[in-house]
Structure 1
Amino acid sequence: MATNDAPKDTARDAALVVACVQMRSSRDPAANRDAAINGIREAADAGAVYIQTPEMTSLLVRDRKELFAKAEDQTHDPLIAAAREVAREKRVTVHLGSLPLLEGDRIANRAIVIDPKGEIAATYDKIHLFDVDLPNGESWRESATYAGGHQAVTAPLAVGEDTYTLGVSICYDLRFPYLYRALAEVGAVILTAPACFTRQTGEAHWQVLQRARAIENGAFMISAAQGGTHDDGRHTWGHSIIVDPWGRVMAEGGSEPGIILASIDPAMVAQVRAQIPSLRHTQLFSLPDSNES
Protein backbone atom coordinates (compact mmCIF):
# COMPACT_ATOMS: atom_id res chain seq x y z
CA MET A 1 0.00 0.00 0.00
CA ALA A 2 1.31 3.45 -0.91
CA THR A 3 2.16 5.74 1.97
CA ASN A 4 0.46 9.08 2.37
CA ASP A 5 3.62 10.72 3.67
CA ALA A 6 5.03 13.24 1.23
CA PRO A 7 8.77 12.93 0.51
CA LYS A 8 11.01 15.49 2.12
CA ASP A 9 11.74 18.61 0.14
CA THR A 10 15.47 18.22 -0.40
CA ALA A 11 15.72 21.01 -2.97
CA ARG A 12 17.30 23.45 -0.50
CA ASP A 13 20.44 21.31 -0.53
CA ALA A 14 20.48 20.72 -4.29
CA ALA A 15 22.87 22.47 -6.64
CA LEU A 16 20.73 22.25 -9.77
CA VAL A 17 19.08 25.64 -10.17
CA VAL A 18 16.48 25.95 -12.94
CA ALA A 19 14.73 29.03 -14.26
CA CYS A 20 11.83 30.18 -16.41
CA VAL A 21 11.96 33.46 -18.30
CA GLN A 22 8.41 34.81 -18.52
CA MET A 23 7.87 37.13 -21.47
CA ARG A 24 5.32 39.29 -23.25
CA SER A 25 6.52 38.77 -26.78
CA SER A 26 5.48 41.26 -29.43
CA ARG A 27 5.41 41.63 -33.20
CA ASP A 28 9.02 42.93 -33.11
CA PRO A 29 11.53 40.04 -33.40
CA ALA A 30 14.51 42.22 -32.45
CA ALA A 31 12.85 43.45 -29.25
CA ASN A 32 11.83 39.90 -28.38
CA ARG A 33 15.37 38.65 -28.97
CA ASP A 34 16.79 41.30 -26.65
CA ALA A 35 14.19 40.58 -23.94
CA ALA A 36 14.85 36.84 -24.11
CA ILE A 37 18.64 37.18 -24.00
CA ASN A 38 18.47 39.68 -21.13
CA GLY A 39 16.24 37.27 -19.20
CA ILE A 40 18.56 34.35 -19.89
CA ARG A 41 21.55 36.38 -18.69
CA GLU A 42 19.71 37.44 -15.55
CA ALA A 43 18.80 33.84 -14.76
CA ALA A 44 22.35 32.61 -15.41
CA ASP A 45 23.79 35.33 -13.17
CA ALA A 46 21.35 34.18 -10.46
CA GLY A 47 22.86 30.69 -10.63
CA ALA A 48 20.55 28.85 -13.03
CA VAL A 49 22.11 26.07 -15.10
CA TYR A 50 18.92 25.33 -17.07
CA ILE A 51 16.94 28.27 -18.44
CA GLN A 52 13.69 28.03 -20.38
CA THR A 53 11.79 30.67 -22.37
CA PRO A 54 8.11 30.47 -23.43
CA GLU A 55 6.32 29.34 -26.55
CA MET A 56 6.65 31.90 -29.37
CA THR A 57 9.65 33.56 -27.75
CA SER A 58 10.81 35.32 -30.91
CA LEU A 59 7.53 36.51 -32.45
CA LEU A 60 3.87 36.67 -31.43
CA VAL A 61 1.58 37.84 -34.21
CA ARG A 62 -1.89 36.79 -35.35
CA ASP A 63 -1.70 37.99 -38.96
CA ARG A 64 -0.53 35.13 -41.18
CA LYS A 65 1.04 37.35 -43.82
CA GLU A 66 3.02 39.30 -41.22
CA LEU A 67 4.09 36.06 -39.53
CA PHE A 68 5.54 34.66 -42.76
CA ALA A 69 7.22 37.98 -43.55
CA LYS A 70 9.00 38.13 -40.19
CA ALA A 71 9.73 34.45 -39.43
CA GLU A 72 13.16 33.02 -40.27
CA ASP A 73 14.31 29.50 -40.97
CA GLN A 74 16.28 27.72 -38.28
CA THR A 75 19.66 28.36 -39.91
CA HIS A 76 19.18 32.13 -40.08
CA ASP A 77 17.10 32.91 -37.00
CA PRO A 78 18.93 35.62 -35.00
CA LEU A 79 17.53 34.56 -31.63
CA ILE A 80 18.91 31.04 -32.04
CA ALA A 81 22.34 32.49 -32.85
CA ALA A 82 22.22 34.83 -29.84
CA ALA A 83 21.01 32.05 -27.52
CA ARG A 84 23.81 29.75 -28.65
CA GLU A 85 26.31 32.47 -27.89
CA VAL A 86 24.99 33.18 -24.39
CA ALA A 87 24.69 29.45 -23.58
CA ARG A 88 28.35 29.03 -24.50
CA GLU A 89 29.41 32.16 -22.61
CA LYS A 90 27.50 31.32 -19.42
CA ARG A 91 27.96 27.53 -19.70
CA VAL A 92 24.24 26.88 -19.26
CA THR A 93 21.55 24.90 -21.05
CA VAL A 94 19.15 27.24 -22.84
CA HIS A 95 15.75 25.89 -23.84
CA LEU A 96 13.99 28.20 -26.28
CA GLY A 97 10.42 27.16 -25.55
CA SER A 98 9.42 27.61 -29.16
CA LEU A 99 9.98 29.81 -32.18
CA PRO A 100 7.92 30.11 -35.38
CA LEU A 101 10.36 28.90 -38.03
CA LEU A 102 9.87 28.77 -41.79
CA GLU A 103 9.49 25.29 -43.25
CA GLY A 104 8.59 25.76 -46.92
CA ASP A 105 5.00 26.97 -47.19
CA ARG A 106 4.31 26.28 -43.50
CA ILE A 107 5.60 27.34 -40.11
CA ALA A 108 7.11 24.95 -37.56
CA ASN A 109 6.33 25.70 -33.92
CA ARG A 110 9.73 24.46 -32.78
CA ALA A 111 11.53 24.16 -29.45
CA ILE A 112 15.33 24.44 -29.50
CA VAL A 113 17.46 23.02 -26.67
CA ILE A 114 21.01 24.38 -26.64
CA ASP A 115 23.75 22.78 -24.54
CA PRO A 116 26.43 24.59 -22.48
CA LYS A 117 28.83 24.40 -25.44
CA GLY A 118 26.39 26.37 -27.56
CA GLU A 119 25.43 23.39 -29.70
CA ILE A 120 21.84 22.50 -30.56
CA ALA A 121 21.17 19.36 -28.52
CA ALA A 122 17.58 18.75 -29.65
CA THR A 123 14.67 20.24 -31.55
CA TYR A 124 10.98 19.44 -31.16
CA ASP A 125 8.02 20.44 -33.33
CA LYS A 126 4.72 20.83 -31.47
CA ILE A 127 2.60 17.73 -32.07
CA HIS A 128 -0.86 18.86 -30.95
CA LEU A 129 -2.15 21.97 -32.73
CA PHE A 130 -4.69 24.29 -31.08
CA ASP A 131 -7.84 24.58 -33.20
CA VAL A 132 -10.69 25.92 -31.09
CA ASP A 133 -13.53 28.40 -30.76
CA LEU A 134 -13.68 29.78 -27.21
CA PRO A 135 -16.86 31.01 -25.46
CA ASN A 136 -15.43 34.54 -25.25
CA GLY A 137 -15.31 34.78 -29.04
CA GLU A 138 -11.64 33.97 -29.53
CA SER A 139 -10.93 31.55 -32.37
CA TRP A 140 -7.63 29.82 -33.07
CA ARG A 141 -6.67 27.66 -36.07
CA GLU A 142 -3.02 26.71 -35.66
CA SER A 143 -3.36 23.99 -38.29
CA ALA A 144 -4.08 26.65 -40.94
CA THR A 145 -0.54 27.97 -40.56
CA TYR A 146 1.58 25.47 -38.66
CA ALA A 147 2.84 22.04 -39.61
CA GLY A 148 2.41 19.67 -36.67
CA GLY A 149 5.26 17.46 -35.49
CA HIS A 150 5.14 13.67 -35.28
CA GLN A 151 8.10 12.79 -33.07
CA ALA A 152 8.35 12.81 -29.28
CA VAL A 153 11.69 14.25 -28.17
CA THR A 154 13.98 14.08 -25.15
CA ALA A 155 17.05 16.22 -24.63
CA PRO A 156 20.11 15.90 -22.38
CA LEU A 157 20.64 18.31 -19.50
CA ALA A 158 24.32 18.18 -18.63
CA VAL A 159 25.26 19.50 -15.19
CA GLY A 160 28.90 18.89 -14.31
CA GLU A 161 29.52 15.17 -14.63
CA ASP A 162 25.82 14.34 -14.46
CA THR A 163 23.34 14.23 -17.34
CA TYR A 164 19.58 14.24 -16.83
CA THR A 165 16.87 13.67 -19.40
CA LEU A 166 14.38 16.38 -20.35
CA GLY A 167 11.04 15.59 -21.93
CA VAL A 168 10.16 18.32 -24.41
CA SER A 169 6.67 19.53 -25.28
CA ILE A 170 4.86 22.79 -26.11
CA CYS A 171 1.68 24.38 -24.73
CA TYR A 172 -1.43 22.51 -25.99
CA ASP A 173 0.51 19.23 -25.71
CA LEU A 174 -0.10 19.65 -21.96
CA ARG A 175 -3.64 18.32 -22.39
CA PHE A 176 -2.47 14.96 -23.76
CA PRO A 177 -1.11 12.97 -20.81
CA TYR A 178 -0.02 9.97 -22.87
CA LEU A 179 2.80 12.06 -24.36
CA TYR A 180 4.30 12.74 -20.92
CA ARG A 181 3.89 9.13 -19.83
CA ALA A 182 5.81 8.05 -22.93
CA LEU A 183 8.58 10.58 -22.18
CA ALA A 184 8.79 9.42 -18.56
CA GLU A 185 8.94 5.79 -19.65
CA VAL A 186 12.05 6.50 -21.74
CA GLY A 187 13.81 8.19 -18.83
CA ALA A 188 12.68 11.82 -18.61
CA VAL A 189 12.98 13.12 -15.04
CA ILE A 190 12.12 16.71 -15.99
CA LEU A 191 9.10 17.40 -18.19
CA THR A 192 8.54 20.75 -19.90
CA ALA A 193 5.61 22.57 -21.49
CA PRO A 194 6.55 26.18 -22.31
CA ALA A 195 3.36 27.89 -23.35
CA CYS A 196 1.30 30.78 -24.61
CA PHE A 197 -1.91 29.83 -22.76
CA THR A 198 -4.87 32.15 -23.21
CA ARG A 199 -5.97 34.01 -20.10
CA GLN A 200 -9.34 32.21 -20.04
CA THR A 201 -8.00 28.66 -20.28
CA GLY A 202 -4.93 29.45 -18.18
CA GLU A 203 -6.90 30.74 -15.24
CA ALA A 204 -9.05 27.61 -15.25
CA HIS A 205 -6.57 24.85 -16.10
CA TRP A 206 -2.90 25.88 -16.22
CA GLN A 207 -1.72 25.03 -12.72
CA VAL A 208 -3.83 21.91 -12.27
CA LEU A 209 -2.59 20.43 -15.56
CA GLN A 210 1.03 21.18 -14.69
CA ARG A 211 0.67 19.54 -11.29
CA ALA A 212 -1.20 16.57 -12.78
CA ARG A 213 1.54 15.84 -15.33
CA ALA A 214 4.16 16.03 -12.54
CA ILE A 215 2.19 13.76 -10.20
CA GLU A 216 1.24 11.20 -12.87
CA ASN A 217 4.85 10.69 -13.89
CA GLY A 218 6.77 11.40 -10.69
CA ALA A 219 8.75 14.08 -12.52
CA PHE A 220 9.60 17.74 -12.23
CA MET A 221 7.50 20.00 -14.46
CA ILE A 222 9.06 23.24 -15.71
CA SER A 223 7.04 25.56 -17.94
CA ALA A 224 7.80 29.15 -18.94
CA ALA A 225 4.84 31.20 -20.16
CA GLN A 226 3.79 34.29 -22.02
CA GLY A 227 1.84 36.72 -19.82
CA GLY A 228 -0.22 39.88 -20.24
CA THR A 229 -1.78 41.85 -23.08
CA HIS A 230 0.20 41.61 -26.32
CA ASP A 231 0.37 44.10 -29.14
CA ASP A 232 -1.37 41.68 -31.51
CA GLY A 233 -4.43 41.85 -29.23
CA ARG A 234 -4.23 38.52 -27.44
CA HIS A 235 -4.28 38.07 -23.67
CA THR A 236 -2.10 35.37 -22.11
CA TRP A 237 -2.15 33.94 -18.61
CA GLY A 238 1.51 33.92 -17.59
CA HIS A 239 2.16 32.14 -14.28
CA SER A 240 5.36 30.37 -15.36
CA ILE A 241 5.69 27.42 -13.03
CA ILE A 242 8.08 24.86 -11.54
CA VAL A 243 6.48 21.82 -9.89
CA ASP A 244 8.20 18.99 -8.01
CA PRO A 245 7.46 15.26 -8.55
CA TRP A 246 5.03 15.22 -5.61
CA GLY A 247 2.98 17.96 -7.27
CA ARG A 248 4.12 20.81 -5.04
CA VAL A 249 4.55 24.22 -6.68
CA MET A 250 8.13 25.31 -6.06
CA ALA A 251 7.91 28.63 -7.91
CA GLU A 252 5.23 30.45 -9.88
CA GLY A 253 5.18 33.78 -11.66
CA GLY A 254 2.36 36.28 -12.10
CA SER A 255 1.28 38.15 -15.20
CA GLU A 256 4.35 40.35 -15.67
CA PRO A 257 7.61 39.52 -17.48
CA GLY A 258 10.45 38.35 -15.26
CA ILE A 259 12.22 35.22 -14.08
CA ILE A 260 11.39 32.51 -11.56
CA LEU A 261 13.96 30.13 -10.10
CA ALA A 262 14.03 26.96 -8.03
CA SER A 263 16.70 24.60 -6.76
CA ILE A 264 15.76 21.04 -7.61
CA ASP A 265 17.15 17.67 -6.60
CA PRO A 266 16.74 15.16 -9.46
CA ALA A 267 17.21 12.33 -6.94
CA MET A 268 13.72 13.13 -5.70
CA VAL A 269 12.31 11.58 -8.90
CA ALA A 270 13.57 8.11 -7.96
CA GLN A 271 12.27 8.59 -4.42
CA VAL A 272 8.76 9.49 -5.58
CA ARG A 273 8.66 6.78 -8.26
CA ALA A 274 9.61 4.19 -5.66
CA GLN A 275 6.93 5.46 -3.31
CA ILE A 276 4.21 5.47 -6.01
CA PRO A 277 5.49 3.12 -8.75
CA SER A 278 2.77 3.80 -11.32
CA LEU A 279 5.27 3.78 -14.20
CA ARG A 280 5.89 0.09 -13.44
CA HIS A 281 2.20 -0.69 -13.10
CA THR A 282 1.01 0.27 -16.59
CA GLN A 283 -1.24 -2.46 -17.96
CA LEU A 284 -2.44 -3.21 -21.47
CA PHE A 285 -6.20 -3.41 -21.87
CA SER A 286 -8.83 -3.78 -24.55
CA LEU A 287 -11.60 -1.31 -25.26
CA PRO A 288 -15.30 -2.16 -25.31
CA ASP A 289 -16.91 -2.76 -28.68
CA SER A 290 -18.19 0.57 -29.95
CA ASN A 291 -21.46 -1.10 -30.96
CA GLU A 292 -22.21 -2.17 -27.39
CA SER A 293 -24.69 -0.07 -25.42
Structure 2
Amino acid sequence: MTAAPGQQNPEQQDREQQDREQQNKVRLAVVQLVVPVGDPEGNRRRLAETVEEHRDADLIVFPEMFVPGYDLAVVTERSDELAEDAETGPTAVLVRELAAAHGVTIVVGFLERADDGGLCNSLLIAAPGAGLAVYRKSHLFPAELPVFEPGHELPVVHTPAGVLGPQICFEHAFPAIATTQALAGAEVLVIPSAVGADHEHLIEVRTRARAQDNQLFAIAANSNSPGFCGHSMVVDPKGRVLAAAGLEDTVLRTVLDLSEIPAERRREPSLGMGRPHLYLFGREEETR
Protein backbone atom coordinates (compact mmCIF):
# COMPACT_ATOMS: atom_id res chain seq x y z
CA MET A 1 0.00 0.00 0.00
CA THR A 2 1.32 3.45 -0.91
CA ALA A 3 0.69 6.35 1.44
CA ALA A 4 -0.68 9.61 0.13
CA PRO A 5 1.79 12.53 -0.08
CA GLY A 6 2.55 13.84 3.42
CA GLN A 7 1.11 10.74 5.08
CA GLN A 8 2.86 7.78 6.69
CA ASN A 9 2.08 4.29 5.55
CA PRO A 10 0.71 1.84 8.14
CA GLU A 11 4.08 0.10 8.56
CA GLN A 12 5.80 3.39 9.44
CA GLN A 13 3.03 4.21 11.91
CA ASP A 14 3.38 0.80 13.55
CA ARG A 15 7.15 1.20 13.85
CA GLU A 16 6.82 4.64 15.38
CA GLN A 17 4.20 3.39 17.83
CA GLN A 18 6.51 0.54 18.82
CA ASP A 19 9.39 3.00 19.27
CA ARG A 20 7.26 5.21 21.51
CA GLU A 21 6.18 2.23 23.59
CA GLN A 22 9.76 1.00 23.91
CA GLN A 23 10.92 4.41 25.12
CA ASN A 24 8.57 4.02 28.08
CA LYS A 25 10.02 0.64 29.07
CA VAL A 26 12.77 0.45 31.70
CA ARG A 27 14.62 -2.83 32.12
CA LEU A 28 15.32 -3.07 35.84
CA ALA A 29 17.77 -5.07 37.97
CA VAL A 30 17.51 -4.93 41.78
CA VAL A 31 20.57 -6.34 43.54
CA GLN A 32 20.35 -8.24 46.83
CA LEU A 33 23.72 -9.75 47.75
CA VAL A 34 25.44 -10.57 51.03
CA VAL A 35 28.56 -8.41 51.26
CA PRO A 36 31.22 -8.24 53.98
CA VAL A 37 31.54 -5.17 56.17
CA GLY A 38 34.70 -3.15 55.78
CA ASP A 39 35.78 -4.49 52.38
CA PRO A 40 35.11 -1.61 49.98
CA GLU A 41 37.52 -2.86 47.31
CA GLY A 42 35.90 -6.29 47.29
CA ASN A 43 32.42 -4.81 47.26
CA ARG A 44 33.28 -2.49 44.39
CA ARG A 45 34.51 -5.57 42.55
CA ARG A 46 31.15 -7.28 43.24
CA LEU A 47 29.38 -4.15 42.01
CA ALA A 48 31.34 -4.15 38.75
CA GLU A 49 30.79 -7.88 38.20
CA THR A 50 27.05 -7.51 38.78
CA VAL A 51 26.76 -4.59 36.39
CA GLU A 52 28.72 -6.53 33.76
CA GLU A 53 26.42 -9.52 34.18
CA HIS A 54 23.27 -7.38 33.89
CA ARG A 55 24.58 -4.82 31.40
CA ASP A 56 21.41 -5.22 29.31
CA ALA A 57 19.47 -3.44 32.09
CA ASP A 58 18.57 0.25 31.92
CA LEU A 59 18.56 0.73 35.71
CA ILE A 60 20.47 -1.23 38.39
CA VAL A 61 19.82 -0.52 42.08
CA PHE A 62 22.04 -1.71 44.96
CA PRO A 63 21.28 -1.58 48.73
CA GLU A 64 22.12 1.07 51.31
CA MET A 65 25.82 1.36 52.21
CA PHE A 66 26.61 -1.44 49.77
CA VAL A 67 30.24 -0.40 49.31
CA PRO A 68 31.45 -0.21 52.95
CA GLY A 69 28.79 -2.58 54.35
CA TYR A 70 26.31 -1.36 56.93
CA ASP A 71 27.75 -1.47 60.47
CA LEU A 72 27.73 1.78 62.45
CA ALA A 73 30.57 0.72 64.76
CA VAL A 74 32.84 -0.22 61.86
CA VAL A 75 31.91 2.92 59.93
CA THR A 76 32.80 5.06 62.95
CA GLU A 77 36.07 3.29 63.77
CA ARG A 78 37.32 3.04 60.17
CA SER A 79 35.87 6.15 58.60
CA ASP A 80 39.30 7.36 57.46
CA GLU A 81 39.59 4.44 55.04
CA LEU A 82 35.89 3.82 54.25
CA ALA A 83 34.60 7.34 53.59
CA GLU A 84 34.91 8.71 50.05
CA ASP A 85 34.59 11.94 48.16
CA ALA A 86 31.35 11.95 46.18
CA GLU A 87 32.99 13.28 43.02
CA THR A 88 36.52 11.89 43.01
CA GLY A 89 36.37 8.80 45.23
CA PRO A 90 36.93 5.30 43.82
CA THR A 91 33.23 4.40 43.81
CA ALA A 92 32.33 7.59 41.94
CA VAL A 93 35.01 6.88 39.35
CA LEU A 94 33.86 3.27 38.98
CA VAL A 95 30.14 3.90 38.54
CA ARG A 96 30.79 6.72 36.07
CA GLU A 97 32.87 4.36 33.95
CA LEU A 98 30.34 1.52 34.17
CA ALA A 99 27.40 3.77 33.33
CA ALA A 100 29.18 5.15 30.28
CA ALA A 101 30.47 1.77 29.10
CA HIS A 102 27.11 -0.01 29.30
CA GLY A 103 24.55 2.76 28.91
CA VAL A 104 23.02 1.89 32.29
CA THR A 105 21.91 4.03 35.25
CA ILE A 106 23.40 2.81 38.55
CA VAL A 107 22.19 3.60 42.08
CA VAL A 108 24.42 2.46 44.95
CA GLY A 109 24.87 3.28 48.63
CA PHE A 110 28.25 4.48 49.91
CA LEU A 111 29.84 6.34 52.83
CA GLU A 112 30.43 9.96 51.88
CA ARG A 113 32.97 12.30 53.43
CA ALA A 114 31.41 15.76 53.44
CA ASP A 115 33.40 18.93 52.82
CA ASP A 116 33.33 19.73 56.54
CA GLY A 117 34.77 16.31 57.38
CA GLY A 118 31.51 14.79 58.55
CA LEU A 119 30.10 11.45 57.41
CA CYS A 120 26.97 11.03 55.29
CA ASN A 121 24.92 7.94 54.46
CA SER A 122 24.61 8.65 50.75
CA LEU A 123 23.70 7.35 47.32
CA LEU A 124 25.56 7.75 44.07
CA ILE A 125 23.39 7.88 40.94
CA ALA A 126 25.42 7.52 37.76
CA ALA A 127 23.58 7.85 34.46
CA PRO A 128 25.01 7.71 30.94
CA GLY A 129 25.14 11.18 29.46
CA ALA A 130 23.65 12.71 32.61
CA GLY A 131 26.59 13.01 34.98
CA LEU A 132 26.73 11.94 38.61
CA ALA A 133 24.14 12.84 41.28
CA VAL A 134 24.51 12.41 45.05
CA TYR A 135 21.73 12.00 47.59
CA ARG A 136 22.38 12.27 51.33
CA LYS A 137 19.95 10.54 53.67
CA SER A 138 17.90 13.38 55.15
CA HIS A 139 15.83 11.47 57.75
CA LEU A 140 18.28 9.51 59.89
CA PHE A 141 17.28 6.51 62.00
CA PRO A 142 17.81 7.33 65.72
CA ALA A 143 20.90 5.09 66.00
CA GLU A 144 22.45 6.95 63.05
CA LEU A 145 22.14 10.43 64.54
CA PRO A 146 25.52 10.33 66.38
CA VAL A 147 27.28 9.01 63.26
CA PHE A 148 25.96 10.79 60.17
CA GLU A 149 25.16 14.32 59.09
CA PRO A 150 21.70 14.55 57.51
CA GLY A 151 21.06 15.83 54.03
CA HIS A 152 18.76 18.79 53.51
CA GLU A 153 17.22 18.21 50.09
CA LEU A 154 14.61 15.92 48.53
CA PRO A 155 15.70 15.95 44.90
CA VAL A 156 14.51 14.18 41.80
CA VAL A 157 17.13 12.98 39.34
CA HIS A 158 16.51 12.92 35.59
CA THR A 159 18.08 9.88 33.93
CA PRO A 160 17.58 7.92 30.69
CA ALA A 161 15.82 5.31 32.87
CA GLY A 162 13.21 7.78 34.09
CA VAL A 163 12.96 10.49 36.72
CA LEU A 164 14.17 8.98 39.99
CA GLY A 165 13.14 9.93 43.52
CA PRO A 166 15.97 8.71 45.81
CA GLN A 167 15.30 7.73 49.40
CA ILE A 168 17.23 5.62 51.90
CA CYS A 169 15.71 2.98 54.22
CA PHE A 170 14.03 4.73 57.21
CA GLU A 171 12.75 7.40 54.82
CA HIS A 172 10.25 4.79 53.68
CA ALA A 173 8.39 5.71 56.87
CA PHE A 174 7.61 9.28 55.81
CA PRO A 175 4.83 9.47 53.19
CA ALA A 176 5.47 13.18 52.66
CA ILE A 177 8.91 12.45 51.17
CA ALA A 178 7.45 10.29 48.40
CA THR A 179 4.67 12.78 47.70
CA THR A 180 7.12 15.68 47.56
CA GLN A 181 9.18 13.78 44.99
CA ALA A 182 6.12 12.66 43.02
CA LEU A 183 4.86 16.24 42.76
CA ALA A 184 8.33 17.24 41.54
CA GLY A 185 8.05 14.74 38.70
CA ALA A 186 9.50 11.50 40.07
CA GLU A 187 8.42 8.38 38.16
CA VAL A 188 10.41 5.78 40.12
CA LEU A 189 11.19 5.83 43.83
CA VAL A 190 14.57 4.14 44.39
CA ILE A 191 14.93 3.10 48.03
CA PRO A 192 18.21 1.35 48.90
CA SER A 193 17.79 -0.03 52.41
CA ALA A 194 19.30 -1.97 55.30
CA VAL A 195 16.10 -3.02 57.08
CA GLY A 196 16.80 -5.27 60.04
CA ALA A 197 15.94 -8.94 60.47
CA ASP A 198 12.28 -9.74 61.18
CA HIS A 199 11.13 -6.38 59.79
CA GLU A 200 10.30 -7.45 56.26
CA HIS A 201 6.69 -6.39 56.86
CA LEU A 202 7.90 -2.77 56.84
CA ILE A 203 9.33 -3.20 53.36
CA GLU A 204 6.18 -4.75 51.95
CA VAL A 205 3.68 -2.36 53.53
CA ARG A 206 5.64 0.83 52.96
CA THR A 207 6.84 0.08 49.43
CA ARG A 208 3.36 -0.80 48.25
CA ALA A 209 1.82 2.17 50.04
CA ARG A 210 4.30 4.73 48.71
CA ALA A 211 3.81 3.43 45.17
CA GLN A 212 0.01 3.38 45.27
CA ASP A 213 -0.31 6.65 47.22
CA ASN A 214 1.61 8.49 44.54
CA GLN A 215 0.82 6.28 41.53
CA LEU A 216 4.41 5.62 40.53
CA PHE A 217 6.92 2.77 40.71
CA ALA A 218 8.78 2.00 43.94
CA ILE A 219 11.92 -0.10 44.27
CA ALA A 220 13.12 -1.35 47.66
CA ALA A 221 16.65 -2.75 47.33
CA ASN A 222 17.35 -4.18 50.77
CA SER A 223 20.43 -5.79 52.28
CA ASN A 224 20.37 -9.51 53.05
CA SER A 225 23.70 -9.48 54.86
CA PRO A 226 23.72 -10.88 58.43
CA GLY A 227 21.33 -8.89 60.62
CA PHE A 228 19.15 -7.70 57.72
CA CYS A 229 16.00 -9.18 56.22
CA GLY A 230 16.35 -9.01 52.44
CA HIS A 231 12.88 -9.10 50.85
CA SER A 232 13.71 -6.56 48.15
CA MET A 233 10.66 -5.61 46.13
CA VAL A 234 9.40 -3.80 43.01
CA VAL A 235 5.89 -2.29 43.03
CA ASP A 236 3.84 -0.70 40.26
CA PRO A 237 1.62 2.45 40.36
CA LYS A 238 -1.41 0.40 41.44
CA GLY A 239 0.49 -1.03 44.42
CA ARG A 240 0.92 -4.44 42.79
CA VAL A 241 4.13 -6.39 43.45
CA LEU A 242 6.01 -6.99 40.19
CA ALA A 243 8.96 -8.84 41.72
CA ALA A 244 9.99 -9.83 45.24
CA ALA A 245 12.83 -11.68 46.95
CA GLY A 246 13.21 -13.66 50.13
CA LEU A 247 16.47 -13.73 52.08
CA GLU A 248 18.55 -15.31 49.30
CA ASP A 249 21.20 -13.72 47.12
CA THR A 250 19.40 -12.63 43.96
CA VAL A 251 19.04 -10.00 41.28
CA LEU A 252 15.40 -9.23 40.61
CA ARG A 253 14.69 -8.55 36.95
CA THR A 254 11.52 -6.94 35.64
CA VAL A 255 10.39 -4.22 33.24
CA LEU A 256 8.78 -0.93 34.28
CA ASP A 257 6.31 0.58 31.83
CA LEU A 258 6.39 4.29 32.65
CA SER A 259 3.26 4.90 30.57
CA GLU A 260 1.31 3.23 33.39
CA ILE A 261 1.91 6.29 35.59
CA PRO A 262 -0.13 8.87 33.65
CA ALA A 263 -2.73 6.21 32.85
CA GLU A 264 -3.26 5.45 36.55
CA ARG A 265 -3.31 9.14 37.45
CA ARG A 266 -5.98 9.79 34.84
CA ARG A 267 -8.03 6.92 36.24
CA GLU A 268 -7.84 8.30 39.78
CA PRO A 269 -6.46 11.86 39.84
CA SER A 270 -5.77 11.97 43.58
CA LEU A 271 -2.15 13.15 43.46
CA GLY A 272 -3.03 16.52 41.94
CA MET A 273 -6.05 17.11 44.18
CA GLY A 274 -4.31 17.44 47.54
CA ARG A 275 -4.91 20.41 49.86
CA PRO A 276 -1.56 20.72 51.65
CA HIS A 277 -2.54 23.68 53.80
CA LEU A 278 -4.97 21.39 55.61
CA TYR A 279 -2.30 18.79 56.36
CA LEU A 280 0.46 20.87 57.94
CA PHE A 281 0.01 21.01 61.70
CA GLY A 282 -3.78 21.12 61.39
CA ARG A 283 -3.76 24.63 60.01
CA GLU A 284 -6.81 26.01 58.36
CA GLU A 285 -6.61 26.30 54.61
CA GLU A 286 -5.81 29.80 53.38
CA THR A 287 -8.70 31.48 51.62
CA ARG A 288 -8.67 34.25 49.07
Tell me which residue corresponds to 1:237: 229
Tell me which residue corresponds to 1:50: 59
- 1:68 deviation in Å? 3.8
The ranges of structure 1 where at least 4 consecutive aligned residues each deviate by more than 6 angstroms after the TM superposition are 11-14
- 1:182 deviation in Å? 0.7
**Residues 110-142 of structure 1, C-alpha deviation per residue, up to 9 Å, x if partnerless?**
11111113731x2111011011xxxxxxxxx21
SS, match of residue 194 in structure 1: strand
Equivalent AA in structure 2 for residue 58 of structure 1: V
TM-align CA RMSD: 2.1
The structure-2 alpha-carbon separation of the partners of 1:258 and 1:274, relative to structure 1 and needing over 3 Å to count, comes to same
Tell me which residue corresponds to 2:187: 189
Q: Does 1:167 align with 2:179?
A: no
Identity over aligned pairs, percent: 28
Tell me which residue corresponds to 2:221: 224
For 2:247 and 2:184, how far apart are their aligned partners in 1?
34
Tell me which residue corresponds to 1:3: none
SS, match of residue 193 in structure 1: strand
Q: Is the 8 A contact 1:21 1:259 kept in 2?
A: yes
SS, match of residue 113 in structure 1: strand
Q: How does 1:1-293 map to 2 (within 5 A)?
A: 15-26=25-36, 27-44=38-55, 47-60=56-69, 61-63=71-73, 64-96=76-108, 98-103=109-114, 104-117=116-129, 119-120=131-132, 122-131=133-142, 141-158=143-160, 164-201=162-199, 203-229=200-226, 235-283=227-275, 284-285=277-278, 287=281
Q: Is the 8 A contact 1:199 1:237 kept in 2?
A: yes
Tell me which residue corresponds to 1:138: none
SS, match of residue 264 in structure 1: strand
- 1:14 deviation in Å? 6.5
For 1:217 and 1:118, how far apart are their aligned partners in 2?
25
Structure 2: any 5+ residue segments left out of the alignment?
Answer: 1-20, 284-288
Q: Is the 8 A contact 1:129 1:172 kept in 2?
A: yes
The structure richer in strand per residue is 1
- 1:169 deviation in Å? 0.9
Structure 1: any 5+ residue segments left out of the alignment?
Answer: 1-10, 132-140, 230-234
Q: Is the 8 A contact 2:58 2:103 kept in 1?
A: yes
- 1:12 deviation in Å? 11
Q: Which has the larger radius of gyration?
A: 2
Q: Is the 8 A contact 1:228 1:256 kept in 2?
A: no
TM-score by length of 1: 0.82
User: Between Structure 1 and Structure 2, how many residues are aligned?
Assistant: 256
**Residues 166-209 of structure 1, C-alpha deviation per residue, up to 9 Å, x if partnerless?**
111111110000010011111111112110111132x2311111
